[in-house]
Structure 1
């Protein structure tokens, strides 16, 4: 027996979760088919297939019988067909568009005949209805024989045929036409929901300017290999992830990260695929091939997330599994009980029973959750908020506490000069001489001092000979006026006596969580420089916004209590300091007892804590680890992104409940009017179609979530 092989298909015409369920049920009945994964959001299916038992052509024909159009990546005929891309095809060119036109023509012809020759009206509408219902009846039969007996097509076909049998031919024809229009509207709405993915795909250019041996040639992006050098002209998009090797210009990363302000890129800086070079000419060494760049990974993540079901969606699926059969039983009771037990008119109650059947169609209910989840995920991706699935998106909105790592999350992750206190000369003199000593150091404090001197545009004195480092204590270099050292207060105390007022200044700054270094020439103290890993600019407002949302915040750090207190008091956040990794995990477990907990870290050294929390969010600026470690990742490396995630999740949860309320509320209203004889058949199908359209339109509102805030 041959081993099973993977078979992937693109399936046009899937507009909601019910469509995916039909295909999934059909595949379950085919021998040799396993590992079925059907995604209506991607219009795709992946299965494992034993071709000795079922051929790919059989799979294809089964899907066609259900009313969908499959495109097979590896058809058994041997010819390879290109998988279709997300397209902007006009509605009248699609299968469902053509069906609406055909059904509309049938109804129009019947209407004209009925008005020109009234005696033939009933027959004309009956013939039009019988012809128009054939495609839907075929799908109903195919669904029933494939494991989905209670499909929407079944309900509609029974109602339309029943209407013909009781002489309501005109209404039967209207029901079929409105049903076809409703399906078309679902297709259009589903296309709008997929527009988020298409927008990401469109970010990456199809070609690139590759430079080899001084010759620039235009090539397809797929041909780029790692370490290839590409030229990015002003206004061009970066073709794939890479590192700048020549040029110093600003790059607009808004299409990728949502960051509205152009980012300066110097030699050695990383750039993302899809970013726009705003001025000058860049040369970039490619670090990721097209299939593995940031945009490709984002697209893959969002598609996988949309394919995964949220807990609410799974609940709705379970509910709808018995809801439809129960609705058919209720419709049967409406038809039978009044005539049998209360002497009602059979024709009247059959009509009302058929209306009940149409009202009970579960489309709006089934699509209520996945449509909102898909829109929420797409809206997040547009703003650099990547969420790995509906479950994560739901959980974020229910979080009670958010635990933050300190270094690199609430703070910038590198020290900065905060205070320069001259004891001899000016601030600029002290900073320039310290930068001269630290000129060639790789120590973070020395680098920060050098950056501060550059920021002030200072002239750094020349040094004679190399600097000498005393590990953990000081760096010493020979300048024009002698040997100058930059060292710790302890080192200074070993070399000379420190005046009391200077010691007090040092102690005061250290109490604020700052690291103090002393500038000395020989044994004379000339100044103090204080450095600290400062909070991010948006940290305080982001934490304030979270508290306004009713979410508690706490900082969990392994740093010393003094430094943690200094940062915590600045930001107004609860503190748990000096935590070893196991203590941090224990603290998260304790917080989880009070409700769902989100952990925010950098996606590398916080991996255990991210995994332990109810939801892990990585702030990684688009790094591989940040995209792969946690349940969500922030491409815009900002704390405010956490608040944006919570707001998006709460908006999505609210949208889901609105959709469920719309779906069930409209059905309840029309059920009541039907039982009292107010609702006609065409109003009943319009109620279901209208509810589906309203639910989808409401879900699509999430696509614009946060745009106003981002401006």
Structure 2
């Protein structure tokens, strides 16, 4: 047991404070050809960037110098053209060479760039960005950047490009006009549909960046130079259409999470100083303000109910399928729906710090924590793209020079190779799958803190679980009281209640609550001390008392065969036993029992069906641990564990070759949670620490979400492998067709577009599971 600062439990070495664990960091380097990161969803503002406009990245921090100087300051810029990792890479490479720039923070969602520098002014930064064909608008310090306005695009340039490309093909095929007429029509088609691609491709080449815009610009230019005007026009048109379709298809994955942002109403009914109720913008509502919500309305802000009772649909936050009863003293969350009665609640968190806001922020950051497969694909594409370019150059030159082949044929094949070898499908296959998986998990009330955990969950073959609050309800009640010293029979319950009242752990509360109805005289506890995993001690009326578990009695040397027999009988029933002791020996015995959640039994069964073994780790006694484990079907149970013992248990499983997950909800679980492959935090809704630091946060107390997560992780890993294999196999087949001289450039674009759409739609399947 413990006081408010140190919550320990007699017999569990565990508390209900959520875990304090180091936040896992992941580097976010420059990205090749696009799509290597996927951001929190935002409206698709532009479809100008191949495989990029639809895959904006989460805010990414790039450290350019080892440390930030004392005179450094942060300047922010709105860059409307920066909505893709392609632009991010260009800016990063450009500003990375600028003396005085120390750190860059990219927020591609809002198109905002943060630059930490010690330059006298921002002109060198804006000029460097201007040289990349972009305009940087300085933002006022301390003012939140407004959401970027949608970029409106006219439909007629694309239509003109399509008509021109088709006309050029028909005229060329039928010989209806001279070649110069075909060339003019094709040129109009290329310029109307591909001018933006050319512009971006030229900027990329100037900055030695072989992205998709550069590759496509080279391919189309090469087709023009060898007189293939109709194909050049058709390739540019199909490329533009492909990126447009790709962007639209990705909207579904983006919107799956962006819908979270629409859950909170913009107005709340707030009590004023004069007693009136006025509609007020949620951003201006202060902490502690009293808000009224009517039946059928969405709750606008996090708070605590101060008047009324109702049922709340919390599915948007916790994934619970059934409404939850709420009354005075209960927490309510922004974005949830009030169903039955009218409620009034006191605001406990600002609009930008609500549980829902933290979830959205966590998901944004999660998409920046790239999965191992995604990091592999990113690195692969950085090498793959220049290698393909050099290979295509060799294909164009070597056969004609050394083998007597026809120049025209092999230059054409090299151009086809450039188009079909574009890594877009490969690069885009991972982020769309990861974002779909994250969205599917969020719908179930499972907050995954990065693709690395979503993909890694399928490897788990062992799951360690805490007991109190995880397998059981965590709300035990006192079931037995036994006096062990007749002289202290009258005072023992009051002394125990005074010590227990200093802790907020469920076992302590059970003893304290049992004394409430007995109206004991309040006793003052002096020199209170928490004994981690064993109990507490303190002085009452000058006398030192201990209140703790079996381990504490053994350590104090106050156990006896007769007492052991009593303890064994109660512990065998699955009860936690707490003893009150003074310097002479045990004074009284208290037995506390917790109840097992029905969902725990089903969760353990589902885990076993997935082939995952289970181990319960608890500070409670061995007999209680085994009794609870037997009730729910857990494979193995270990009791009398301190926090370090739980950590050692995880280490032992690693040494045996297992991949281990850990489930808990307390600070004392933190070492084991941090060491485990994946740490799962229980009941994270409304808890800052759990949401911000957990690898995976379960937004309610339902343990069945863990097998659901593992199943989702396995599906995600499977689809990632399918997408990579699909992209590589189709490209390999088409490369063979290209060398055989059977492929054309527009066929290559169709193949590239087709495989890109296949991997996108395959990744979106996760949203239906």
Deviation larger for 196-205 or 621-630: 621-630
When residues 64 and 283 of structure 1 are mapped into structure 2, their CA distance, relative to the original with a 3 A threshold, is farther
The answer to whether the 8 A contact 2:285-2:350 is kept is yes
Partner of 2:73: 5
Counterpart of 2:383 in 1: which secondary structure?
helix
Q: Distance in 2 between matches of 1:112 and 1:394?
A: 49
Partner of 2:177: 118
Higher-helix-fraction structure: 1
The answer to whether the 8 A contact 2:646-2:669 is kept is no
Partner of 2:216: 156
The answer to whether the 8 A contact 1:96-1:183 is kept is no
Q: Distance in 2 between matches of 1:549 and 1:7?
A: 51
The reply on whether 1:693 has 2:722 as its aligned counterpart is no
Which of 661, 669, 673 is 1:598 aligned to? 661
Q: Distance in 2 between matches of 1:181 and 1:51?
A: 43
The reply on whether 1:668 has 2:716 as its aligned counterpart is no
Q: How well do the aligned residues superpose, as a CA RMSD in angstroms?
A: 3.7
Deviations 1:283-331 (CA, angstroms, capped at 9, x unpaired): 0100000011101101111111112222222221211111111111221
The answer to whether the 8 A contact 1:32-1:53 is kept is no
When residues 543 and 561 of structure 1 are mapped into structure 2, their CA distance, relative to the original with a 3 A threshold, is same
Per-residue deviation at 1:343? 2.6
When residues 293 and 128 of structure 1 are mapped into structure 2, their CA distance, relative to the original with a 3 A threshold, is same
The answer to whether the 8 A contact 1:42-1:307 is kept is no
The answer to whether the 8 A contact 1:310-1:389 is kept is yes
The reply on whether 1:180 has 2:237 as its aligned counterpart is no
When residues 449 and 590 of structure 1 are mapped into structure 2, their CA distance, relative to the original with a 3 A threshold, is closer
Q: Distance in 1 between matches of 2:397 and 2:752?
A: 23
Q: Distance in 2 between matches of 1:373 and 1:607?
A: 27
Partner of 2:767: 703
Counterpart of 2:321 in 1: which secondary structure?
coil
Partner of 2:435: 374
Q: Distance in 2 between matches of 1:549 and 1:121?
A: 66
Paired positions, count = 626
Q: Distance in 1 between matches of 2:155 and 2:666?
A: 47
Per-residue deviation at 1:235? 0.9
When residues 321 and 624 of structure 1 are mapped into structure 2, their CA distance, relative to the original with a 3 A threshold, is same
Counterpart of 2:598 in 1: which secondary structure?
coil
The answer to whether the 8 A contact 2:110-2:147 is kept is no
In the TM superposition, 1:174-573 aligns within 5 A as 174-213=234-273, 214-415=275-476, 466-467=519-520, 510-514=571-575, 532-573=593-634
The answer to whether the 8 A contact 1:607-1:629 is kept is no
Partner of 1:61: 130
When residues 72 and 685 of structure 1 are mapped into structure 2, their CA distance, relative to the original with a 3 A threshold, is farther
Per-residue deviation at 1:191? 3.2
When residues 32 and 703 of structure 1 are mapped into structure 2, their CA distance, relative to the original with a 3 A threshold, is farther
Deviations 1:446-493 (CA, angstroms, capped at 9, x unpaired): 9879999xxxxxxxxx99x94579999xxxxxxxxxxxxxxxxxxxxx
Per-residue deviation at 1:586? 1.2
Q: Distance in 2 between matches of 1:10 and 1:371?
A: 26
Q: Distance in 2 between matches of 1:277 and 1:284?
A: 12
Structure 1, unpaired ranges of 5+: 420-437, 453-461, 473-503, 518-528, 706-711
Q: Distance in 2 between matches of 1:702 and 1:14?
A: 29
Partner of 1:33: 101
Per-residue deviation at 1:157? 1.2
When residues 297 and 538 of structure 1 are mapped into structure 2, their CA distance, relative to the original with a 3 A threshold, is same
Q: Distance in 2 between matches of 1:651 and 1:19?
A: 32
Deviations 1:71-110 (CA, angstroms, capped at 9, x unpaired): 76449xx9x895326x8x6xxx645967634533543665
Partner of 1:614: 677
Which of 94, 104, 129 is 2:162 aligned to? 104
Deviations 1:210-245 (CA, angstroms, capped at 9, x unpaired): 012421000000011110000011111111110000
Q: Distance in 2 between matches of 1:169 and 1:345?
A: 19
Q: Distance in 2 between matches of 1:113 and 1:693?
A: 31
The reply on whether 1:643 has 2:707 as its aligned counterpart is yes
Deviation larger for 283-292 or 683-692: 683-692
Partner of 1:683: 747
Q: Distance in 2 between matches of 1:346 and 1:116?
A: 24
Q: Distance in 2 between matches of 1:19 and 1:703?
A: 29
Deviation larger for 652-661 or 592-601: 592-601
Q: Distance in 1 between matches of 2:212 and 2:700?
A: 43
Counterpart of 1:406 in 2: which secondary structure?
coil
The answer to whether the 8 A contact 1:30-1:54 is kept is no
Deviation larger for 112-121 or 373-382: 112-121
Q: Distance in 1 between matches of 2:95 and 2:156?
A: 27
TM-score (norm 2): 0.74
The one of the two structures with greater contact order (alpha-carbon pairs below 8 A, sep at least 6) is: 2
Partner of 1:48: 116
The answer to whether the 8 A contact 1:244-1:269 is kept is yes
Structure 2, unpaired ranges of 5+: 1-68, 481-496, 526-534, 536-564, 579-589
Partner of 2:60: none
The answer to whether the 8 A contact 1:71-1:81 is kept is no
When residues 505 and 605 of structure 1 are mapped into structure 2, their CA distance, relative to the original with a 3 A threshold, is closer
